[in-house]
Chain A
Amino acid sequence: MSRWSSAAAASVTLQRGLTLPLGLVLGLVLSAGSAGAATVEQRHIHIEIQGDGSLLETTRLRVRLDTDADVARWTTYRTYLDDNRELEGLEAAILRADGRREAGVAGRDMVEASGSAFHASRRFHLLTFADLGVGDRIVVEQAIRHRPYYPASRVLLHGGEEVVDLKVTVSGADPTTWRHAVSGEVPGLEVEGGPGGVTVSATGLPPRTAPPLAPGGFDARPALRFGWGGDGSWDHVGAWLLGEATGAPKGPSTGGTVADLAAELTSDLGTPRERLETLTRFVQQDIRYLAVEVGEGGYRPSPPPEVLERRWGDCKDKTMLLVDLLAAVGIEARPAYVRSGRGRRLDPAFPSHDAFDHVVVAVPVAQLGAGEGGLDVGGAVADGWLFVDPTQGRGGAGWLHPNVQDQLALVAGAAGSILIRTPSRPHQERRSLVVDLDLDPGGVLAAGDARGTARLELTGELADRLLAELGEAEPSSARESARSLLAGLLPAATLGAVDWFDRSEDRPAGGAPAVEIEADVVIPGLMTGGSSSIRLPAMHGTPDPEILRGRGDPAVLPTRRVDARWRLRLPPDSCPPVARGAEVDNAVGAFRQSLAEEDGVWVVLRTTELRTRWVDRGDLPKLEALALAEHRTQRRRLRLRCSAPE
């Protein structure tokens, strides 16, 4: 948990009100720009682990600027700092293309930037080089003192630029507790371990460009991870996190009676599942999400009574409040730490605190009145635990945001912590289009045009985001937003009055948020070529197959289900449509198109399901086959033929 909101130098907004940062990565100053840009001629980092557990990190960097874009990007050199990361020295120079060396640097500044958090103790030292030009080199030598909360850290090894000379050394650790690992594939990387340290070196590392759908952030880039304390187990990490969670409060409690509130909210509820739902919804809706991290507050939650009193908090605040509320009604839930985000995943082989950037609640299913083979409690259940995210604005305990699905979660407990993979639930992440069209509307329309109705049903994340937007908008602008969404799926269509409905309470997809949008529609030119064919607009659930061709990098995808049902009433004298059936079903997902006549109406049904969030190299051919089938099938027109083709 890389200090779930603070230590990050980069962050990503995952959903409304839930902003999760990436972890602290030493050596982050190396720009992670596009490949093929500047040439890093030298990058030497030495990290000395001090007796007091602090790190002294010295960096020498020399970068040659090959293009105007390099000049623009390297003119300002940023160094990430925070309360525990201080700049002890920084010298810089410019080696001009003509060989002159200039020690002058135009300006220095320090800026505080909370990023996606409301406030965080996070700042950047900015060094501005004067009048750089193509062919110039910049040289930076800096020393940083870092006092980590947990005895582990990591160094980004390859950010994107070509690196001529890379050398990273770590030394000074107690050999009995020292551990290290290199993640990511870097051809030619040499790793030489020793007692209490390691040296990683390489020459001539080529530039790297992340392809589309690549894992995001640092998870996609090679890194050296190292640790110098504890026993290197997830139990130790869990105990440390739990210690932060249950340790001394970071501020005085101002009152608030968690147990009283739990009792009040659940007094007339009979089952544990009902109590869970009510308390979850209370924390989701009545405690507003707001991240404020100052120093250790990046890891340590505020006391639940304080959170209850002030009515705001971040993921750890809300999680610990919900854990306490549930405990008050007899449900012994635990915090479950996760690495959140579709393009991220935790490496189970290297236990460390900075593996996580989010925390949710794990509830034992057995305590909800459902045991093995018992009642279906509804929601995201894996290995006997129901995972609930109190930072979600909607969905209660029945829906888990996709960013937290299919992720390893560390369910922390005093007696030990266990890693559990949260479930994947594509059926709750659904986009469904139903279009009912008449191609013979009585001669009012031009030949080939069609008239009817269109209905779009969204559930899960898409519905959640849409409801957040529509819920705040005035009725007229909400209708326009809904219109825009539907129109985007039906190019050139003319839409009549558009209505939208929040269907969440109808629970069409368990507890997931649900929205329905519907309108009358006229689609011009649906039938073309002298009434010989029909082109139905495509609605893809898979990525462009071209980005999968010959790919080696893993692809990360939204797990979801996409389906379109076209109901077509053809003119009486039309030939019947002919469509090639298509069906692919493999480990990654499935696609199917069918054509059938139902009471004089031709029904084309296309369904795509993506079941796997993270597709590794071995499964990429399956994904490509799926994507090719879907794209080619949807590109092809329905032919109208009165006799079978020869």
Chain B
Amino acid sequence: MRSSSCDRPRVGPRRRPRITGPWGCLGSEVRLPGSLIALALTLAAPAAWSATFPPVTEAERGVASVEGFPNAPAVVLSKRAELTLRDPSAGESSTLEIHTRTKILTEAGLSRGQVAVSHGPGLRLEGVEGRTLLADGREVPLESDSVFVEQTSRARRSFRTKAVLPAVAVGAILDVRLRLRFDSVFFPEPWSFEEPIPVLHSELRFTAPPGMGVRVEPTRGEAPWTSEPIRTGGRQGARLVMTDLSPPAEEPFGLAGQDLRPQAVVIPVSYVDADGFGVPLLDAWDTVLGTFERRHYGPVRAGNRGLDPLARRLAKAEDPAAAILGYVRDGVATAKTGVLPAPGETLAGILAAGSGSYAAKAILLQELLSRAGIDGTLVWAIDWRDGEPDLGVVNPGWFEKVLVRIDRQGIDGYLDPGDPRLPPFRLAPMQEGTSALLLERSGPRPVTLPTTPAVGSLRRATMELRLGEDGAFGGVGRLALRGHHAWYHLLTHGDGDARSGSWRAWLSDALPEFDVSAVEVEESVRFQRVDVSFRLDQKRSQVLGDEAALRPSLPLGPVRQRYDAPTEARRTPVRISFPDQDEVEMTLSWPPGWELDAAPADLDVRTDVGHGVGSLELGEGGDRLVYRRRFTIHRRTVQPGEPYAALRDLYAEMERHDAQEIVLIHE
């Protein structure tokens, strides 16, 4: 994968680790990185819990390689999780036990011998055991002095526990078992059967107490696992099994990993309380919304002292919706993402503190709009980088932030209360085109959020250059960013000299053959625009005196082929951050004695995924030319096969075109 500074910006990769671990807790959305939990362990095992490992089979001992994966550094022989849901009415905690058995196949696999897991008040690590079984039959246990607990935040009481398995060598089998405990089942996290290395056997067993209704669903599509019911001691559940799993296809510019293969999510639907009444849990979005309003959003709304005068003041603005959004977005810092308010949050409280969760800010926005006579609806929105699950599966844990929808002359308009770079009715690219849930009074309703077309996210460079008598190029340029391209840069370069300096650095990177000076920047969140003007002088080291060459696609090119994999090798869709368009117009003139020696051939490539156009117009006097180039990508998602081939070919044509220089020589 190649890239250059002038490549289009991407929103990603996602900073937050993907959710695949155990189950979070009501009141604190706990998220565990799946790759860690998968092999995770930690903490010296307390006396209350002590696991023994099942015997190693001859078949497991005999594994020396994995068919289809000759370079696999290690293989997971088995990955078994047991989820025991407890009766919430009895105040009992649920548990998750995970046992992973891994065999080291090559020296590169030795790094599988250390593991780590994050935990905290909402997800407590109760115990860990581990051992190394050497090829000669010796067993070396994980000792407590090889387990390290780090407090990642004293304030949040969060920890990371790490352990180093002993005597790890090629041919060794590593057993790791851990036990976690949690109190709430309201934010079920998906379970991943896979690992970054091949997995021969992967299973999830879950059981629920009598009276609790549970169902298991894939995050999207059809369930790929085999399932058999479990009934034991009045508890019921199921055993899900998958075998011979290849590592997830992590291809460049791909979908979120969890979109590539479904994960299992165990949904607690209902339970019977101590009085014998059935209590719905995650049986339907209606229930979830009701619970949220009652337990979380309602208390936030209730603490609304001081809201009325504020609303009256903001409602006097020429555009009350914009004024209210601006106040909430910029006047109250965003302290936490997700759909849950922070414990104890109220509207009055966040106004006083000047800081609030995304959810509480959305409620504040909704309440202020309401007092100004504007009806707003809360919207739960996802971030596509975390995957786009099927909203038919009821799970509030899917969502990343809370927006507010208002009616905009008969059209849905969305307000983001937490992103200071977004004006009214604009969404961040991570939300555009994704599924969202409208929390309407009549009941929750799935919707697809609107998108911005390619021409709405524009980068346009206008350059006026002249070749001097000494053979050096010089001139001025302007760069205009609109839409998502502006969003990407707005408020991120500081202000004043710092902003100019930052853009100078950006331009110097994009125009490596030039000294960049006189940089001036104007930006506007309201209009989603950034305008940069600058002066260019060719670097002394680039000046030859009798020959001058220029790549005319600068500063938005040259395009490099980013889709290196041949069409037949690409297995998963390409996910493009957002459709966009690049435009370059360069005017170049030169003095007598110089003549044009070479120039790019015209280009006109049009495909279903985008198009590229390049043309050169020579002035009548033979001492001036105008070069124009446009490169547009229409799609967000490009499927493997022909669409991918079209995208790859488009980039190849652009790369070939951009590699050609304008050459002037002095005879």
Contacts and interface: CB of A to CB of B under 8 A. Distances in A.
Given A108-B155, A311-B166, A494-B652, A637 B663 contact: yes
B155 A635 contact: no
B5 to A, nearest CB: 14
B179 to A, nearest CB: 22
A472 B598 contact: no
A119 B169 contact: no
A230 interface: no
B85 interface: no
Contacts of B111: 288
A525 interface: yes
Interface in A26-70: 36-37, 67-69
Interface in B535-549: 539-542, 544, 547, 549
Contacts of B166: 309-312
A483 interface: yes
Contact of B169 (A112, A286, A292, A635): A286
B2 A487 contact: yes
A312 B112 CA distance: 12
Interface string A476-511: 101010011001100110100000000000000000
Interface stretch (A152-160, A428-436, A526-534, A571-579): A526-534
Given A472-B108, A529-B597, A111 B151 contact: yes
A310 B659 CA distance: 54
Given A36-B498, A111-B153, A484-B564, A491 B663 contact: no
Contact of A525 (B72, B168, B496, B660): B660
Contact of B167 (A285, A310, A483, A484): A310
B544 A311 contact: no
Interface in A281-298: 285-286, 288, 290, 292, 294
B71 A627 contact: no
Given A475-B70, A480-B564, A288 B150 contact: no
Given A312-B168, A488-B2, A532-B597, A636 B108 contact: no
Given A36-B497, A67-B496, A529-B597, A491 B659 contact: yes
A635 B472 CA distance: 14
Interface stretch (A544-552, A556-564, A595-603): A544-552
Contacts of B121: none
Given A288-B168, A310-B167, A487-B564, A635 B494 contact: no
B69 A474 contact: yes
**Size bracket of the B interface:** 35 or more
Given A111-B151, A118-B114, A69 B597 contact: no
Interface in A100-144: 107-114, 118-119, 123, 130-131
Contacts of A631: 541-542
B588 interface: no
A473 interface: yes
Interface in A347-401: none
A414 to B, nearest CB: 30
A478 B108 CA distance: 14
A109 B152 CA distance: 9
B354 interface: yes
**Residue of A107, A110, A484, A627 contacting most chain B CB atoms (<10 Å):** A484
A188 interface: no
Interface in B500-555: 501, 512, 515, 539-542, 544, 547, 549
B560 interface: yes
B608 interface: no
Given A484-B564, A494-B652, A524-B656, A119 B569 contact: no
A311 B539 CA distance: 54
B167 A311 contact: yes
Contacts, number: 158
B194 interface: no
A290 B113 CA distance: 10
Contacts of A471: 71, 106, 108
A113 B152 CA distance: 7
A528 B542 contact: no
B145 interface: yes
The DSSP consensus for interface residues of chain B is: mixed
A119 B167 contact: no
A478 B569 CA distance: 12
A502 to B, nearest CB: 12
Contact of B540 (A69, A131, A528, A546): A546
A544 B544 CA distance: 15
A187 interface: no
A112 B152 contact: yes
B565 interface: yes
B148 interface: yes
A635 B538 CA distance: 13
A528 B660 contact: yes
B369 to A, nearest CB: 25
A444 B193 CA distance: 51
B167 A67 contact: no
B7 interface: no
Contacts of B341: none
B101 interface: no
A67 B498 contact: yes
B15 interface: no
A535 interface: yes
B391 to A, nearest CB: 33
A528 B598 contact: yes
A76 to B, nearest CB: 12
Given A118-B162, A632-B541, A483 B564 contact: yes
A99 interface: no
Contacts of B558: 491
Contacts of B244: none
A636 B174 CA distance: 59
Given A111-B153, A112-B150, A524-B656, A628 B541 contact: yes
Interface string B632-667: 000000000000000000001001101111010100
A529 B148 contact: no
Interface in A134-175: none
Nearest to A483: B564
Given A108-B155, A251-B145, A635-B549, A472 B150 contact: no
Given A286-B169, A475-B70, A632-B541, A107 B164 contact: no
B272 interface: no
Interface string B50-87: 00000000000000000001111100000000000000
Contact of A290 (B69, B114, B569, B656): B114
Contacts of B544: 632, 635-636
B561 interface: yes
B107 interface: yes
Given A487-B2, A491-B659, A475 B597 contact: no
Contacts of A107: 155
A478 B71 contact: yes
Contact of A68 (B156, B495, B661, B665): B495
A67 B655 contact: no
Contacts of B152: 111-113
A114 B160 CA distance: 11
B114 A636 contact: no
30 contacts: A36-B501, A37-B498, A67-B495, A68-B495, A107-B155, A112-B151, A118-B148, A118-B164, A130-B354, A286-B169, A288-B113, A310-B164, A312-B113, A312-B166, A472-B71, A472-B108, A473-B71, A480-B564, A488-B2, A491-B558, A492-B655, A492-B659, A525-B660, A535-B549, A544-B539, A546-B541, A627-B541, A631-B541, A632-B541, A637-B549
Given A118-B148, A312-B113, A474-B71, 20 more contacts: A67-B494, A67-B496, A69-B494, A69-B498, A109-B154, A119-B150, A288-B110, A288-B111, A290-B164, A294-B148, A472-B73, A478-B71, A484-B1, A488-B2, A491-B558, A492-B658, A494-B652, A529-B598, A546-B539, A637-B547
A-B residue pairs, 8 tightest by C-beta: A492-B659, A69-B494, A528-B598, A545-B541, A529-B598, A119-B148, A529-B597, A112-B150
